[in-house]
Structure 1
Amino acid sequence: MDQHIAESIGRPDLIRLDDRLLCLRFETMKVVSALAAVRHLLDTGAVRRGDTLVDSSSGIYAHALALACHRHGMRCHIVGSATVDHTLSTQLAVLGATLERMEPCDDLKLDQKRRVERIHEILAERPEYHWMRQYHDDIHYLGYRAVAALIREAIGTDELTVVGGVGSGASTGALARYLREDSPGVELVGVQPFGSVTFGAGHVSDPEIIIAGIGSSIPFGNVDHASYDTLHWLSFDAALAGSVDLLRRHAVFAGLSSGAGYLAARWERTRSPRRTVLFIAADTGHRYVDSVYARHREAVAIDSLAPRPVTTRADLALPWCRMDWRRAPGDPMASGLPGRG
């Protein structure tokens, strides 16, 4: 029996969509990392019950950290993007978390930068606060060990490919790390939006949006670039088509990043007929009803979409590109892979 709702929310469902395509579906994925990170901080004495934990968030992590703080008797302060909606801000208030919402900003890179700068200002004013550093500290990997064990027990790891948003590196990177402890052949496919600097696509803008949660407009410190075998960059329109098809074909109501992962996973499955492909659906589709699902008539048929293969990031272009990354550490800001131009 769970001792707190956060434990239930953080436990994923493993859904078979066809014989070689699986969906690891979360209600709110980042609860997994937040719970384990806060527990570790308490166990190691880095924080004490009653202390205040602070971080920046565009939405999902704010909810996750508020739940983890509620579970462990901590205070929570969030510097939030304008994208934090009324439903979430109301939940945060009732949970006892304080939300400091930034002014709206059309430039997402500037928005993320301003939120981090505000964190530094808060720490200068209140040095007793503990910054969770979700973008920089691999303490957020810890919670995914249990998820890796669930995957290993349910489907095994032979000929397994994991697909999901790169984000801060703490979901896909962590799953690969733990699954490869006894199965180094597990392949990892990272999904990125155009405009994300993490793997050097900052020069390609998407007129719609940089997909929150799977990309970054500023460098992240806890992404292990050498974990990834393959990368897919997808536009908003492609991810929208994937999200709509995922709901229409499989009745899985999930977020925009899940639609992007679904498209990438379907492609990888066709390329590797012996491998099982598992993609991550990090959250539900409720936040995307107006921006994505209400536009379902605009969605193109996913069979009409295919990635453009690229070997250098100078060739990246909307709506969808794929690159063999080959676990290269590389310079994420370079135009191509080491030794490949």
Structure 2
Amino acid sequence: MDQHIAESIGRPDLIRLDDRLVCLRFETMKAVSALAAVRHLLETGAVRRGDTLLDSSSGIYAYALALACHRYGMRCHIVGSTTVDHTLRTQLAVLGATLEQMEPCSDLKLDQKRRVERIHEILAEHPEYHWMRQYHDDIHYLGYAAVADLIRETLGTDGLTVVGGVGSGASTGALARYLRAAPEGRGPAGRAADVELVGVQPYGSITFGAGHVADPEIIIAGIGSSIPFGNVSHELYDALHWIAFDAALAGSVDLLRRHAVFAGLSSGAAYLAARHERDRSPERTVLFVAADTGHRYADTVHARHRQAARICDLTPQEVTDQSRLALPWSRMQWNRARATAP
């Protein structure tokens, strides 16, 4: 039996959509990393119950950290993006978290920059606060070990492709690291687990070199960044998909219409990329990450279902380097290369 709702919210479901396409569906994915990170900090003495934990968030991590703080008796202070909606603001307030939300801004790069600057101002005023550094600290990888165990026990690691948003690197990167490293993933001849990792990025994200291509709609919050992230392990990724808002919207709508999975915008992008990977590699099973439910996207994404393109009409442009990236969808082999210079 769970001891707190955060444990239940963080536990994913594995849903088979067809013979070779599987959805790893979370209610709130980052509850996994936030709970494990806070527990580790307490166990190691880095923080004590009653301390204040501080971080920046575009939405989903704010809720996750507030839940983890509620679970372990901590205080929570969030510097929130302009994208934090009324429902989340209300939840954070009732949970006792402090939210400082940035003023409306159409430039996400400026929004992220202002949030980081505000974090440093708060730390100068309150050096006793602990900055969680979700974008920079590998501590956020820890919670995905149990998720990797679930995947291994259910699907195995022979011919498995994992697809999902890159974000801070702490979800898809962690899953690949644990699935590849686990002894259970090795066969009798010592062959390493056959796990490929495919990352999904929005245009405008500098993480894999797409900062020069703008999406006329929005940069999809949470799966990319216009500022450097310190805990993305580029060498874990085999391929990358860059997907624009309109294509991700089509994926989200089709995921609900075809499979009744109500999920967010990044999930729609991952679903679109996963279908493509399934079709290009008929011998592999493809698992994609649906990071959260679709509730906060109901008005901006799902309500536009009549405008959504048919996903059968969408296909990625294969590129060999980032200078050739083009909307609405591009794909590139990354081949586990290290980060390139910005």
Alignment gaps of 5+ in structure 2: 186-192
User: Counterpart amino acid of 1:88?
Assistant: L
**Match of 1:84?**
84
In the alignment, the residues of structure 2 paired with residue 31 and residue 143 of structure 1 have an alpha-carbon distance, to the nearest angstrom, of 9
Identify the residue that residue 331 of structure 2 maps to in structure 1: 322
What are the residue-to-residue correspondences of 1:255-294 with 2, within 5 Å?
A: 255-294=264-303
Structure 2 equivalent of residue 247 of structure 1: 256
CA-CA distance at 1:227 after TM superposition: 0.2
Matching residue of 2:212: 203
8 Å CA contact 2:208–2:339 kept in 1: the answer is: no
Separation in structure 2 between the aligned mates of residue 269 and residue 103 of structure 1, nearest angstrom: 42
Instruction: Give, in whole Å, the separation in 1 of the partners of 2:81 and 2:313.
Output: 35
Q: Name the SS for the 2:83 alignment partner.
A: coil
- TM-score scaled by structure 2? 0.97
Contact 1:180–1:186 (CA<8 Å) still a contact in 2?
A: yes
- CA–CA distance in 2 between the matches of 1:270 and 1:105? 39
1:232-243 map, 5 Å = 232-243=241-252
Relative to the length of structure 1, the TM-score reads 0.97
SS in 1 for 2:88: helix
1:199–1:332 contact (8 Å) kept in structure 2: no
Per-residue deviation, 1:332 = 5.3
Name the Cα RMSD after superposition.
Answer: 0.7
Is structure 2 residue 20 aligned with structure 1 residue 20? yes
Give the counterpart of 1:212 among 218, 221, 243.
221
Q: Does 1:194 align with 2:212?
A: no
Three-state SS of the structure 1 residue aligned to 2:181 is: coil
> Is the Cα–Cα contact under 8 Å of residues 176 and 186 in structure 1 kept in the other structure?
yes
2:115 counterpart of 1:115: yes
1:293-312 alignment to 2 at 5 Å?
A: 293-312=302-321
Cα deviation for residue 328 of structure 1 reads 0.2
* C-alpha distance in structure 1 between counterparts of 2:134 and 2:335, whole Å: 26
Offset, 1:97:
0.4
Matches within 5 A, 1:60-99: 60-99=60-99
Aligned pair count reads 333
Query: CA-to-partner distance for each residue in 1:108-128, whole Å, 9 max, x for gaps?
Result: 000001001100000000000
Q: Secondary structure at the match of 1:180?
A: helix
Q: Is the 8 A contact 1:198 1:332 kept in 2?
A: no
- Measure, in 2, the Cα distance between the counterparts of 1:330 and 1:120: 26
Q: Which residue of structure 2 aligns with residue 33 of structure 1?
A: 33
User: In 1, are the aligned partners of 2:166 and 2:199 still within 8 Å (CA)?
Assistant: yes
Shift of 1:83: 1.2
Give 1:102 deviation, angstroms: 1.1
**Alpha-carbon contact 1:148-1:175 (below 8 Å) kept:** yes
What is aligned with 1:56?
Answer: 56
Question: For residue 163 of structure 2, what is the aligned residue in structure 1?
Answer: 163
Cα distance between partner residues in 1 of 2:203 and 2:87:
28
Q: Report the alpha carbon displacement of residue 260 of structure 1 after superposing the two structures with TM.
A: 0.4
Q: Is 1:224 matched with 2:224?
A: no
CA distance in 1, matches of 2:137, 2:317: 33
Q: 3-state DSSP class of the match of 2:15? A: strand
Aligned AA (1:119): I
Local SS of the residue matching 1:93: helix
